[in-house]
Structure 1
């Protein structure tokens, strides 16, 4: 397959290749030099590169009220 480089340095990735590799509009991609050619790959998803797991698990339960005090749950042992 052949395509043309525009004056802005842009190329169109053929539809068959986009479908084969699951490339969608707005996806980030990376370019790497491999020997004498350029490799284009989908960039790792943001979730894969996070340092924290905060926000990864979603709950259907109601949120905790902002004025809730966890200390009110402590019960003195008899």
Structure 2
């Protein structure tokens, strides 16, 4: 693909051409990183250094102390 151009809006925004977005897998909400290299700016798809866990386990924190590993929930039931 040849060079593509885009205008900068009054808010400093630019539109990445569709063909480039498709080639890089960028969709609405995708993040990009900017780096100044000499006299130009490099824009790259942003990828977290550590991938997000598949399950989400451990992402939420509770203010309550953890339960002991040997806790039996049946002990909460009254006979």
Shorter-chain TM-score: what band? 0.5 to 0.7
Partner of 1:33: 36
Cα RMSD (Å) of the superposition? 2.8
TM-score (norm 1): 0.59
TM-score (norm 2): 0.58
Partner of 2:48: 45
Whether 1:2 and 2:20 are equivalent positions in the alignment is: no
Counterpart Cα distance in 1 of 2:70 and 2:5 = 63
Higher helix share: 1
Number of residue pairs aligned between Structure 1 and Structure 2: 58
Partner of 2:61: none
